[in-house]
Structure 1
Amino acid sequence: MTQSHAPPLPSPKERRRLREAKSLSQADVADKMGVTRETVRSWETGRTTPRGSKREAYVELLTAQDPATTSAETEDRTGVEAEAEAEVTARQEPYTEAEPESNVEAEAEAEADSDEEPAPPPPALTPPQAFDALYAFCTPALVRQTYLLTGRRELARESVERAFQLAWHRWPEVAVDRDPAGWVRATAYEYALSPWHRLRPRHRHPEAPPADAADRALLDVFLKLPPMYRRTLLLYDGVGLDLPETAAETEASTPAAANRLLHAREAVAERLPELAAPDELHRRLTVLAATERLRAAKPRSVRYGSEHRARTWTRAAIAFTVLLIGATSLTLRTAPDHYEPPMAPGATIRGVPPRAASGPLSDEQLELHAFLKSQTVSGPERLVPEAR
Structure 2
Amino acid sequence: MEYTTEFFTTDAADGIFSKTVNINDTIDTNATSTQTTLLLYDYLIPTIGSVIILVNLVVVISSGLILRNGQEPRSTYLFLGNVAMTDLITGIAVVFGQAYPKAKRDHYLCAVQLGMIVSSTLTSVYSVGLIAVDRFLYILHGMQYQSWVYPTRARLLICLAWTIGIIVGFLPLMGWYGDTNNGQICWFILLAPKGLVLITVLLGILPIILVLFLYSIILYHALRKIVQLQRQSRNRNNVDIEEDPSSGNIRMFRGGSNNAENPEEINTRKKGILSLFKKKPSASVKSPNKWKAIKVVLFTTGSFLITWSPYFIASVIYVFSCDIDDATKKCKTIRTLIASPLAILGFMNSFLNPIIYAWWHKGFRTFFKKKVDTIVMRTTRDYMINSASQSKSTESSKGESKMSRRESDNNSV
- Which has more helix, going by share of residues? 2
User: What TM-score results when the alignment is normalised by the length of structure 2?
Assistant: 0.25
Larger Rg: 1
Relative CO higher for 1 or 2, CA cutoff 8 Å, sep ≥ 6? 2
